[in-house]
């Protein structure tokens, strides 16, 4: 494939996956918005985590809760678990990389809080341990995955929400996760501030 065909392929493929994901994710996205609005309204907080590109997604989402999305409003409580290099290096060094998120969930999580877990494979050990720890803290989970959800699928309960992108390529899954996090932000603002347009 020459470069211009590769570029075209990615735009076409991405548009196709976005369209397919709409069908699959519309209902769980509405449930996730409900869950987040509930937690925010009850003065709970949102923790988010992921590795690599998903770490960027997690901190992006939390930045829009604590800062703002499109409209001025009060700040919402959220913490990204992949941004504090002192915690990440201390916990990673002393307890192991698989424990970097679990330890923070144990330190910060309270019943009724939400853990937003980004993992395209559903198999990252540190995210899986964070989900287990969040359940122990009586938190709810919103899991953003792909590749049929991997190990995460079997960990979630009826109280949790699974946003599983119907694709096997990490980059495509991440592209839909990025759209999904903006849909969540828009939904939260619409429910708490009223419809904009």
Return residues touching ligand I22 (CB under 6 A): 51-54, 119-121, 123-124, 127, 170-171, 174
Of 39 and 51, which CB lies nearer to ligand I22 in the complex structure?
A: 51
Closest by CA to 123, choosing from 145, 102, 101, is 145
CB 170 to Zn ion: min, Å: 7
Q: Which does 54 bind (CB under 5 to 8 A by kind): ligand I22, Zn ion, none?
A: ligand I22
Rounded least distance, CB 53 to Zn ion, Å: 4
Nearer to ligand I22, 104 or 174 (CB): 174
Residue 51 binds which entry of Zn ion, ligand I22, none, with Cβ cut-offs from 5 to 8 Å by kind? ligand I22
Give the Cα separation of 63 and 56 in Å (integer). 10
Count of residues in contact with Zn ion, rule CB under 5 A: 1
Residue 120 binding: pick among ligand I22, Zn ion, none (C-beta 5-8 Å cut-off by kind): ligand I22
Binding mask 32-71 for Zn ion (x = CB under 5 A): ---------------------x------------------
- The verdict on whether residue 120 carries a ligand-binding annotation is yes
Tokens linked to 87? 């915690």
Integer Cα distance of 23 and 4 in angstroms: 30
Candidates 109, 100, 61, 66; CA nearest to 82 is 100
Extract the tokens encoding 56: 């960027």
Cα dist. 50→100, 107, 117, 185 in Å? 11, 18, 6, 18
90 binds, among ligand I22, Zn ion, none (CB under 5 to 8 A by kind): none
Residues 6+ apart with CB under 8 A from 80: 47, 48, 49, 55, 58, 59, 61, 62, 63
* 83 is annotated as contributing to ligand binding: no
Helix (H, G, I), strand (E, B) or coil at 2: coil
Q: Nearest CA to 99 among 77, 81, 119? A: 81
> At closest approach, how far in Å is the CB of 91 from ligand I22?
17
| d(C-alpha 105, C-alpha 86), whole Å | 16
Q: Residues marked as binding for Zn(2+)? A: 60, 64, 174, 182
The annotated binding site for substrate is made up of 51-53, 64, 93-94, 119-121, 124, 174
- Which parts of this chain interact with Zn ion (CB under 5 A)? 53
């Amino acid at each position: 494939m020459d470069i211009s065909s590769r570029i075209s392929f990615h735009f076409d493929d991405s548009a196709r996956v976005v369209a397919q994901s709409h069908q699959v994710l519309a209902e769980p996205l509405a449930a996730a918005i409900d869950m987040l609005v509930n937690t925010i309204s009850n003065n709970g907080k949102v923790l988010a985590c992921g590795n690599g590109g998903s770490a960027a997604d997690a901190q992006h989402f939390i930045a829009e809760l604590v800062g703002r999305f499109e409209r001025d409003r009060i700040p919402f409580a959220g913490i990204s678990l992949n941004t504090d290099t002192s915690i990440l290096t201390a916990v990673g060094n002393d307890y192991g990389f698989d424990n970097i998120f679990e330890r923070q969930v144990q330190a910060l999580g309270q019943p009724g809080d939400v853990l937003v877990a980004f993992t395209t494979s559903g198999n990252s050990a540190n995210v899986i341990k964070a989900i287990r720890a969040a359940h122990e803290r009586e938190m709810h989970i919103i899991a953003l995955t792909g590749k049929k959800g991997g190990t995460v699928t079997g960990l979630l309960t009826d109280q949790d929400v699974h946003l599983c992108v119907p694709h096997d390529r990490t980059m495509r899954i991440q592209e839909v996760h990025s759209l999904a996090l903006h849909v969540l932000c828009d939904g939260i603002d619409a429910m708490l501030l009223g419809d904009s347009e």
